[in-house]
Amino acid sequence: MNRNVHGRHVTIVRAVAFMMRYYELSEKSPRASYNVGRAFHQLDLTHFAIPYYEKALAGAGPALNDEHYELRQSEHVIMRRFAAHNLMLIYKASGQEDRAREILYEYLVI
């Protein structure tokens, strides 16, 4: 990306538009929620990332009649752990230690 501030802003707006289109086309799946949250997190727009990480955590797992249920279930568990970890990091960085600890114990401690 070039150093032109206008060019950076345009590129970011296009990237966000692309991610939101992807999110809509994926029917707002938990995986898409995680990916959009991660994109906002990478852009340091954590206030936008938080709701998407929370949606990823709240999302349902694969259907029981899915022929690849076990594989999809393990992917879902891993994705939820990543979402919880990233959400915990955001809360910790913003000084919300109690909320970070809640996320840790609810989703990451075995």
Residue 4: the pLDDT is 67
Residue 3: the pLDDT is 63
Residue 14: the pLDDT is 92
Cα separation, 11 vs 52, in Å, equals 21
The per-residue b/e assignment along 3-28, b for 16 or more CB within 10 angstroms, e otherwise, is eeeeeeeeeeeeebeebeeebeeeee
Each residue's pLDDT expressed in tens, for the chain with a length of 110 residues: 456 667 888 988 999 999 999 999 998 889 999 999 999 999 999 999 999 999 999 987 777 777 778 877 888 888 999 999 999 999 999 999 999 999 999 998 87
